[in-house]
Amino acid sequence: MSPRNPLARHAERHRSGRIGWLRAAVLGANDGIVSTASLLVGVAAADASRSGIMVAGVAGLVAGAMSMAAGEYVSVSSQADTERADVARERRELEAMPGPEREELRSIYVKRGLDPELAGRVADQLMATDALGAHTRDELGISTVHRARPVQAAAASSATFAAGAALPLVTAAVLSPSGLVVGVSAVSLACLALLGGLAAGAGGAPIVRGVLRVTFWGAFAMAVTAAIGRLFGAVV
């Protein structure tokens, strides 16, 4: 017996809806791990005291989380302002020049493969029902899925930075000073590998590639800061 609603068996789940929060979350967690681990390793390599290392780590966590929140909010707000300005301009053009705007919409569908007559009928129907929505989506490329959300991006970046930064910080708190550089580096690289794999899987990208790129740059950052810490520690 055929189902009452065939479409119910064809529910699709796309990953594009995750782009906004996934980018901010991955960026925040990755920066939290890399920057805090690098800071701890660099300070420890300079033969600082445990209290000095922990103060530096906590300060890095708080400052980094606030910086991520402010940076994401400002940058995504700028994107949102641009989107609003473009939509407002499109609204004015639709009110002042509906004919040319209809032709512009028709030409978009022709370029996408519709024959001119069908493209014209589609443009007419969309202009009659939701002209602004059609032009916002098809001309400007702004959709509900990809629309800028400053507060969401700021919150995701700040929270995930703090969570990522807490991992090397907790590791440093339980290790002896002599094993801190190796221990923090190892735990941080393992966390970066896990993060890279999870982010790649959530976004539908190759997992091995995601793991390799985050661990490589994390290891590089920690190696550079350790070398600088060792150099300045020896000089002092």
From first to last of its 236 residues, the chain has per-residue pLDDT tens of: 445 554 445 444 544 444 555 666 777 888 899 999 999 999 988 888 888 899 999 999 999 999 988 988 888 888 888 888 888 888 898 888 888 888 888 898 898 888 889 988 988 888 888 888 888 888 777 766 556 678 887 888 888 899 999 999 999 999 887 888 899 999 999 999 988 888 777 767 788 888 898 899 999 999 999 888 888 764 44
Taking a C-beta distance cutoff of 8 angstroms, is the pair 18, 180 a contact? no
Q: Cα angle vertex 65, ends 59, 67, to 5°?
A: 95
Global pTM reads 0.67
Residue 180: name the closest of 33, 49, 30, 31 by CA: 49
Whole-angstrom distance, CA of residue 10 vs CA of residue 36: 45
Residue 31: name the closest of 66, 69, 64, 70 by CA: 64
